[in-house]
Structure 1
């Protein structure tokens, strides 16, 4: 997982760092519906990318979420 995502998850969303692993599910990491919405807004505000709540919820793991965000940031 990229450092940017880890910082957002820990600093902005208040998720526990020890639960953040590439293969962790969003539920295991501590995501709830509010965290999904907050992450979507943060990604738009900070990086100008549109990652919907549905996009986030479709990621099975944090690693997949990281890949989704990286792909949207690079436009690939």
Structure 2
């Protein structure tokens, strides 16, 4: 799931590849509040993963966002 998130952050949100690592905090990765809103919409539309932007803002690191994605990912 980390690779999925990294692809979204780099390709869709135009963050720098070298800044997106599991251990980096949101600010270090370049994720401001607007980026979190966009990420929430992308996850919902493309992957049916429902995470509010407020929940994403509560995530401390990129790894925390990945955990939220894994928890909310629809089971097939």
Report if TM-score (shorter chain) is over 0.5: yes
1:1-76 matched pairs, under 5 angstroms: 2-74=2-74
User: After the TM superposition, which parts of structure 1 deviate over 3 Å for at least 4 consecutive aligned residues?
Assistant: none
- Secondary structure of 1:38's aligned partner: helix
Q: Distance in 1 between matches of 2:15 and 2:29?
A: 7
Q: Distance in 1 between matches of 2:66 and 2:21?
A: 11
Give distance in 1, aligned partners of 2:73 and 2:2. Answer: 12
Per the normalisation by structure 2, the TM-score is: 0.91
For structure 1, list consecutive stretches of 5 or more residues without a partner in the other structure: none
TM-aligned CA deviation for residue 18 of structure 1: 0.4
- What is the aligned-residue RMSD (CA, Å)? 1.3
Cα displacement (A) at 1:23: 1.0
1:42: how far off? Answer: 0.2
